[in-house]
A and B are shown apart, each in its own frame.
Chain A
Amino acid sequence: MKSLRRLIYPYIVWLTVLIIIPFLFIVLATISTFHIFNSYTFRFTFDSLRFLTDPIFLNAFKNSIKFAGITTLVCLTVGYPVAYFFANIKSKNKTLYVALLIVPIWSNMIVRIIAWENVFKPVSILNLFNLSFDMIGSDIAIIIAMVSMYLPFMIFPIYAVLDKMDHRYIEASRDLGANAFQSFYKVTLPLSLGGIVSGIIMTLLPAMTAFALPERIGGGTTILLGNLIEKEIFRGSFSTAATVSFVVMIVMLGLFMLIVRFDKEGETLL
């Protein structure tokens, strides 16, 4: 099949133009006067890096870490046992149960965000049940909405590894005298690490860079890195947007290295 190698050349060109070049542009915009919108005289400058000490940036960074961190932690604590439960169910409808978690993703994300906004507003459809919340702008509201959006993305990769796992390993460990906890801790958990890492990435990164959700549920006062990037790019301040994107990309690449360690070809990413 070696002769089929030529099929990847167009893909290499495609990835170079759409990933590598824009990535270099972002790096360049961070460390120089490079600008895609207007003409400029090129020189290296670290002016835009100074934005990284700006209270606006620091606040957004802190918020992103806080909300994404808590959300990821909740998703992992809830998602792992649920994935474990699904993987060990003995039912012919097993795949249907997992598939039922995909259905909400088919519902438009923005509409789901508005639905949560409705739930947290004092005057809402919930009044029909004599319920009323006033939680817009609170941290807990943002976290609940984020968990609701990203929990399935934690469950899928963990379920995928647990479902594929060879049960004879666990039986062997039990035969060799491990108790239930030991065989989980020493066998199941290490074998599902790849799924856990993928799940963490699939929740942490989108949560860190979400912008519609914090804007609606946060009542416009909670700024995350995503909100910052969106505001800056449409305000035309390309270098600031690039600098913030650069920070996000560094976090992404760090996490990406972790994935590559566990799973070279990214098979747990689906």
Chain B
Amino acid sequence: MKKNLYGSTLQVFLTIFTFTIVYLPILVIILISIHGSQYNYDSFKLTFRWYQEIINDQQLVDAIIVTFQIAVLATTISTILGTAFAIGIHSLNKKNRVRMMVLNNVPVVNPDIVTGIMLFIIFRFFRMTFGFPTMLLAHIFFALPFVILSVLPKLKQLDPNLFDAALDLGATKFQAIVRVIIPSIKVGMIAGALIAFTMSIDDFIISYFMKQGEFHNVSTLIYSRLAKRQISPSVFAYNSLVVVLTMGLMILFNRSNQTQKKVRG
């Protein structure tokens, strides 16, 4: 096939544009986090002061802890529940499965602010105290559909007779799920858990509607400080750490994947 040179130059150009526009804020964040002065931009002064200051900022440390606690709990709970629900949805007939998936996908498509309002309304209606429990529930709520969406395709690839075979061989339903179904859909569960974790850590809008007084996750804390104009570069330092760590993990993961492929192939 003849190569369309004009087309591929355009594609490369747009790809470079994409990485530039998506990574520019990240570079700005990293730059602010290693620049010595908060107000003076005449000349660059390298410093790691802001990184040390993360631990002195008690409010920020608390918010980081809340963010990770919620992310870990929401990911674990939504992965377990989502897998169970996906197995349930998979066992329905086609018509009901489509119905359930349409309902399942509403929170995925729903703009965050509307989801936030909906949860705010229902939690207020039940007279719940806003704070950790409501934020956790909210995060489970928006993570669950993603877990289901990533587990379901793996269930479809599964031989439906495996489960019945396990039952015939004397396994209980629970044993059959844990020992036969789960190992075959593990990849989908891990993918779902990763999406859930990413979304939970980054969420601002929905968490914003779950706030109560001084209870904050990182996003809502930064936003509340913005209003009071008290943004310290240590926030940028924390954010840079997260980005550099993720990127490192991703490259490492890619490497180990390739060595695995080489060994196998």
Give the B-binding residues of A (Cβ under 8 A).
1-12, 14-15, 17-19, 21-23, 25-26, 36-37, 78-79, 81-82, 84-86, 92-93, 95-96, 99-116, 118-119, 123-128, 144, 147-148, 151-152, 155, 174, 180, 201, 205-206, 208-209, 211-212, 216, 226, 229-230, 233, 241-242, 245, 248-249, 252, 255-256, 259-260, 264-267, 269-270
Contacts and interface: CB of A to CB of B under 8 A. Distances in A.
Contact of B18 (A5, A17, A78, A229): A78
A19 B43 CA distance: 53
SS of B interface (majority): helix
B182 interface: no
Contacts of A26: 117-118, 121
A226 B110 CA distance: 13
A110 B111 CA distance: 17
Contacts of A102: 198, 250
Contact of B21 (A107, A151, A255): A151
Contact of A148 (B24, B41, B84, B92): B24
Given A107-B239, A124-B41, A155 B113 contact: no
A269 B160 CA distance: 25
Interface of B: 1-2, 4, 7-8, 10-12, 14-15, 17-19, 21-26, 28-29, 31-32, 35, 41-44, 81, 84-85, 87-92, 97-98, 100-114, 117-122, 124-125, 141, 144, 146, 149-150, 152-153, 160, 163-164, 173, 177, 195, 198, 201-202, 204-205, 208-209, 218-219, 222-223, 226, 231, 235-236, 239, 242-243, 246-247, 250-251, 254, 258, 261
SS of A interface (majority): helix
A241 B41 contact: no
A116 B25 contact: yes
A126 to B, nearest CB: 8
Nearest to B217: A108
Q: Which 9 A-B pairs have the closest CB atoms?
A: A7-B88, A8-B88, A22-B118, A115-B25, A127-B41, A209-B111, A85-B11, A266-B105, A115-B28
A86 B120 CA distance: 40
B74 to A, nearest CB: 14
A118 B31 CA distance: 11
Contact of A125 (B31, B144, B164): B31
Contacts of A147: 21
B15 A85 contact: yes
B243 A103 contact: yes
Contact of A19 (B28, B106, B258): B106
5 contacts: A22-B121, A108-B204, A127-B42, A128-B41, A265-B152
B20 to A, nearest CB: 9
Contacts of B120: 233
B208 to A, nearest CB: 8
A115 to B, nearest CB: 4
Contacts of A105: 198, 202
A6 B88 contact: yes
Nearest to B148: A11
Nearest to A170: B1
Given A5-B91, A147-B21, A252-B114, A17 B195 contact: no
A252 B109 contact: yes
A211 B87 contact: no
B149 A4 contact: no
Which of A105, A152, A266 has the most B CB atoms < 10 Å from its CB?
A: A266
